[in-house]
């Protein structure tokens, strides 16, 4: 039986998105500029910190030797360029599945590192994740469609809102509510903000498709691969 995390990597690399709504956007050319190039400031603020660039390496993998190899390369890129890196779900490490595959700050001491955990996990596991990783922030990922299509996926969802509230109340480091490629509805964003979560990662359809990945893992099924709203629609 293959490792689930390795399956995710394999099918993510195989997947080619048929459409991205950003392709429909066109930036309007302005012939008479107002600013000089050295006046352009790319710095931004989110998740409680100032950042030099509005880019970061988002959560991908971890929890297997192959995932660790990918994370090490990403950590090196992030360290050399001064951008943030977010690891894949730390829940695998909490089960004892290659915890060393997540944190490469000993090798790259300048690395800014964040991590994430599924919102289906209890706040106690969220606290353990923060204690183990000391992340810049903790993402709580919501992945309803992935869970529904995953052969071994979660089927109990009524606790998710409770877990969002509990994490917001009991975890000190900044929290980010993160989708995994299906877009995020306004009601979810409003609920997160009402609980004190100030940052959301809407992660719309058009990049990696976890519907495709889980359908592939489940026996080459081909339905709901295009489920969700695009990032542009969500915005």
Residue 168 lies in a domain: yes
Range of the domain at 145: 4-12+43-234
87's tokens: 């690891």
Could you tell me what percent of the chain has a pLDDT over 70? 100
Residue 18 lies in a domain: no
Could you tell me what percent of the chain has a pLDDT over 90? 91
The DSSP annotation for 172-218 comes to: -S-EEEEESSS---HHHHHHHHHTT--EEE---BTS--HHHHHHHHT
Spatial CB neighbours of 77, under 8 Å, sequence gap ≥ 6? 57, 85
Place of tokens 């890196």: 85
Average pLDDT over residues 156-182: 97
pLDDT of residue 221: 86
pTM of this structure:
0.94
Kind of pairing, strands 175-179 and 56-57?
unpaired
Residue 205 lies in a domain: yes
Choose among 44, 55, 50, 116: nearest CA to 83. Answer: 55
**Is 60 exceeded by the pLDDT of residue 87?**
yes
Burial class of 29 by CB neighbour count within 10 A (0 to 12, 13 to 18, 19+): exposed
Give the three-class secondary structure for 61. Answer: coil
Average pLDDT over residues 83-105: 96
Q: How does pLDDT run across 116-165, given as a tens digit for each residue?
A: 999 999 999 999 999 999 999 999 999 999 999 998 999 999 999 999 99
CATH number of the domain that residue 47 is part of: 3.20.20.70
Task: Identify the band that residue 183 occupies on the pLDDT scale cut at 50, 70 and 90.
Answer: very high
Residue 72 lies in a domain: yes
The structural domain count of the chain equals 1
**Contact predicate 142/202, CB 8 Å:** no
Residue 27 lies in a domain: no
Q: How does pLDDT run across 191-216, given as a tens digit for each residue?
A: 999 999 999 999 999 999 999 999 99
**Is 90 exceeded by the pLDDT of residue 99?**
yes
Encode burial over 74-113: b for 16+ CB neighbours within 10 A, e otherwise.
bbeebbeeebbbbbbbbbbbbeebbbebbbbeeebeebbb
Mean pLDDT rounded to a whole number for the chain: 95
pLDDT of residue 63: 95
Residue 25 lies in a domain: no
């Amino acid at each position: 039986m293959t490792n689930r995390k390795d399956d995710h990597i394999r099918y993510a690399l195989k997947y080619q998105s048929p459409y991205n709504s950003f392709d429909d956007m066109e930036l309007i050319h302005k012939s008479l500029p107002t600013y000089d190039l050295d006046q352009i400031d790319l710095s931004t603020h989110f998740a409680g910190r100032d950042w030099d660039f509005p880019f970061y390496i988002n959560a991908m993998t971890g929890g297997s030797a192959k995932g660790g190899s990918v994370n090490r390369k990403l950590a090196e890129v992030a360290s050399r360029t001064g951008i943030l890196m977010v690891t894949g779900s730390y829940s695998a490490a909490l089960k004892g599945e290659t915890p060393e595959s997540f944190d490469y700050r000993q090798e790259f001491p300048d690395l800014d590192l964040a991590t994430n955990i599924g919102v289906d996990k209890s706040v106690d596991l969220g606290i353990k994740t923060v204690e183990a990783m000391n992340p810049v922030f903790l993402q709580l990922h919501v992945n309803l469609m992935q869970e529904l299509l995953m052969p071994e996926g979660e089927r109990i969802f009524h606790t998710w809102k409770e877990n969002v509230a509990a994490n917001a109340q009991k975890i000190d480091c900044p929290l980010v509510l993160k989708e995994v490629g299906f877009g995020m509805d306004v009601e979810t964003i409003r609920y997160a903000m009402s609980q004190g979560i100030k940052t959301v990662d809407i992660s719309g359809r058009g990049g990696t498709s976890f519907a495709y990945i889980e359908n592939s893992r489940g026996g080459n099924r081909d339905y709901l691969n295009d489920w969700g709203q695009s990032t542009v629609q969500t915005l």
